[in-house]
C-alpha cells in the first residue's frame, strides 16, 4: 500500500504543509500556559477554523492540534488520563475539514516531544517513550490521521521512539528536528545526520527534515546539508516566519508574505519536497507560499550566500561554521514552550 504522501507527491511534485498552530491559536484567544489540545473539546470550532483557513490558503497537508498530546505534556494540565480522547478528537476535527476540501488534503497527526529527557540524561527509558507515543498515535489513528508527523524533536532517540510507536500502530511516519542550537539540535544532531535517526527500525520514514528552529535563512542552510547528504530522500522544511523578536512580553515574527514566498522558491531549489511554515506563519503567509510554489520552476541549487542575500543573515551558527548572532536564551525558551 502506497502512503498518502508519496501518492500526492507523485501527482504534485512538491507539497505545501500548513503554517503555525500555536501562533494562530494565540491570535484566536489561547492564553499563554493554556494547553491547545484542550481546545479540541472546549473550542472545536476554533480548531476547525484553523484547519479550514490553511486549506483555503492551499495547504496539501494539515497537522492535527495534538503537538503536546502525550501523557507527559498533558499531565501539566491534569489531562494525562485523556490522551486517547484528546488525540482522537484532534484527528477527527482535521479529518472533517480535509474530507470536504474538494481535493486531496492529508491529515497528519502531530506528535511533539514529551518534554522529558531520556536515560541517561533523564529518567525516561526508551520503552516508556515508545509507550507514551503509542498511546497518542493510537488516538490519532482512530480519529482519522493518515500519517504520524513527529516534529520539533531535539533528541534522536526520542524521535526514534516515536517512529517505533508509529510502526507498531501500523502508521507511516515522518520526523523533523529543530536545529536551533548553533546549527544543530539541542542534543547535538547535525542536519546531515537526520537520515540516520530511524536506522535499525523495521520501517523507514516517508520523509525527514527540519521544523521550527530559528529563522528562515537558518533552516534553508540546514536544508542544503540534508539534501546534500541524501539527494533522493523526501526532505521536509517547516521554517519559522522570519526571526522571533520580543516586543515587550509579546513575541513577533519578522517574516512578510513576500519573504516566505521567496523562502518557498529557495526551498524548492534546495531540493525540499514538503514545505510549510512554523511559528509565526499566518494564513496570509501560507497563501503567498502556495502562489510561490505554483508559479515556480525548480532552479539552480542556491549557496548559503545566495540564501543570506535574499532572506537575511543567519541568526545562528551553522553546523559547520562559526559566527552568527545567535538567538537570545529567552526567545528560545519561549519558542520551545509555545512552538509552532
Ligand atoms: Zn516553530
Using one digit for the tens of pLDDT, what is the confidence trace for 146-205?
Answer: 999 999 999 999 999 999 999 999 999 999 999 999 899 999 999 999 999 999 999 999
- pLDDT cut 70: percent of the chain above it: 93
The terminus-to-terminus CA distance of the chain in angstroms comes to 31
- The pLDDT, as a whole number, for residue 322 is 42
The rounded distance, in Å, linking the Cα atoms of 176 and 234 is 11
Residue 243: per-residue pLDDT = 84
CA of 52 from ligand 1 middle (Å) equals 20
**Residue-wise burial string across 115-132, b where 16 or more C-beta atoms lie within 10 A, e elsewhere:** bbbbeeeeebeeebbbbb
Q: What is the mean pLDDT of residues 80-85?
A: 98
User: Which residues face 250 on adjacent strands?
Assistant: 247
Architecture in CATH for domain 4-339: Alpha-Beta Barrel (3.20)
Q: How far is the CA of 313 from the centre of ligand 1 (A)?
A: 19
> Taking 60 as the threshold, does the pLDDT of residue 118 lie above it?
yes
Q: How far is the CA of 62 from the centre of ligand 1 (A)?
A: 15
Instruction: Report residue 251's pLDDT band, with 50, 70 and 90 as the boundaries.
Output: confident
Q: Which residues of 292-327 are buried (b: 16+ CB within 10 A; e: fewer)?
A: bbeebeeeeebebeebbebbbebbbbbbeeeebeeb
Range list of H helices, the chain: 4-12, 22-27, 39-42, 44-57, 71-74, 83-99, 126-142, 156-168, 216-229, 257-269, 283-294, 304-311, 329-338
User: Who contacts 317 (Cβ-Cβ below 8 Å, separation ≥6)?
Assistant: 182, 183, 323, 324, 326
CA–CA–CA angle 253, 317, 259 (5° rounding): 35
What is the 336 CA–ligand 1 centroid distance (Å)?
A: 8
Rounded to the nearest angstrom, the distance between the alpha carbon of 39 and the centre of ligand 1 is 19
pTM of the predicted protein model: 0.93
Residue ranges at the known binding site for Zn(2+): 212, 278-279
| Lookup result for grid cell 541568526 | 315
Cell of 94: 482535521
CA of 126 to the centre of ligand 1 (A): 25
Query: What is the CA(147)–ligand 1 centre distance, in A?
Result: 20
- Alpha carbon of 107 to those of 76, 91, 173, 314: distances in Å? 26, 7, 12, 32
Residues of the chain with pLDDT > 90, as a percent, come to 86
Distance of alpha carbon 280 from alpha carbon 290, whole angstroms = 16
**Residue 97 contacts residue 51 (beta carbons within 8 Å):** yes
Distance 123 CA to ligand 1 centre (A): 26
Centre of ligand 1 from the C-alpha of residue 339, in Å: 5
Across the range 59-75, mean pLDDT stands at 98
Question: Whole-angstrom Cα distance, residue 266 to residue 272?
Answer: 9
Task: Work out the mean pLDDT of the chain and round it to a whole number.
Answer: 93
Q: Residue 252 Cα, ligand 1 centroid: separation in angstroms?
A: 12
Report domain extents, the chain: 4-339
By three-state DSSP, how is residue 220 classified? helix
Distance 338 CA to ligand 1 centre (A): 8
Task: State the number of CA atoms in the 13 A half-sphere of 249 facing the CB.
Answer: 2
Q: Are strands 173-177 and 244-247 parallel, antiparallel or unpaired?
A: unpaired
Amino acid at each position: 500500500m502506497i502512503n498518502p504522501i508519496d501518492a500526492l507527491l507523485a501527482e504534485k511534485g512538491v507539497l505545501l504543509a500548513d503554517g503555525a498552530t500555536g501562533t494562530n491559536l494565540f491570535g484566536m484567544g489561547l492564553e499563554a500556559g493554556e494547553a491547545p489540545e484542550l481546545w479540541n473539546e472546549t473550542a472545536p470550532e476554533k480548531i476547525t477554523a484553523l484547519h479550514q483557513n490553511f486549506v483555503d490558503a492551499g495547504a496539501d497537508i494539515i497537522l492535527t492540534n495534538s503537538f503536546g498530546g502525550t501523557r507527559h505534556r498533558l499531565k501539566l494540565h491534569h489531562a494525562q488520563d485523556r490522551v486517547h480522547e484528546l488525540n482522537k478528537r484532534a484527528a477527527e476535527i482535521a479529518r472533517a475539514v480535509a474530507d470536504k476540501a474538494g481535493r486531496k488534503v492529508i491529515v497528519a497527526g502531530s506528535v511533539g516531544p514529551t518534554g522529558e529527557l531520556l536515560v541517561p540524561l533523564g529518567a525516561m527509558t526508551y520503552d516508556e517513550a515508545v509507550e507514551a507515543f503509542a498511546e497518542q498515535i493510537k488516538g490519532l489513528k482512530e480519529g482519522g490521521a493518515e500519517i504520524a508527523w513527529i516534529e520539533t524533536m531535539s533528541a534522536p532517540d526520542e524521535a526514534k521512539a516515536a517512529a517505533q510507536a508509529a510502526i507498531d500502530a501500523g502508521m507511516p511516519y515522518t520526523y523533523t528536528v529543530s536545529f536551533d542550537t548553533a546549527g544543530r539540535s539541542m542534543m547535538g544532531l547535525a542536519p546531515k545526520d537526520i537520515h540516520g535517526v530511524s536506522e535499525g527500525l523495521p520501517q523507514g520514514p516517508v520523509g525527514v527534515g527540519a521544523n521550527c528552529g530559528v529563522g528562515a535563512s537558518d533552516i534553508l542552510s540546514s536544508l542544503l546539508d540534508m539534501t546534500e547528504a541524501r539527494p533522493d530522500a523526501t526532505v521536509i522544511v517547516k521554517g519559522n516566519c522570519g526571526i522571533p523578536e520580543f516586543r515587550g512580553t509579546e513575541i513577533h515574527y519578522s517574516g512578510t508574505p513576500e519573504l516566505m514566498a521567496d523562502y518557498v522558491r529557495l526551498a524548492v531549489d534546495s531540493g525540499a519536497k514538503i514545505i510549510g511554515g512554523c511559528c509565526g506563519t499566518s494564513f496570509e503567509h501560507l497563501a503567498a507560499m502556495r502562489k510561490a510554489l505554483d508559479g515556480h520552476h525548480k532552479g539552480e541549487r542556491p549557496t548559503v550566500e545566495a540564501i543570506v542575500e535574499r532572506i537575511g543573515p543567519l541568526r545562528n551558527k551553522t553546523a559547520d561554521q562559526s559566527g552568527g548572532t545567535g538567538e537570545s536564551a529567552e526567545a528560545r525558551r519561549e519558542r520551545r514552550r509555545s512552538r509552532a
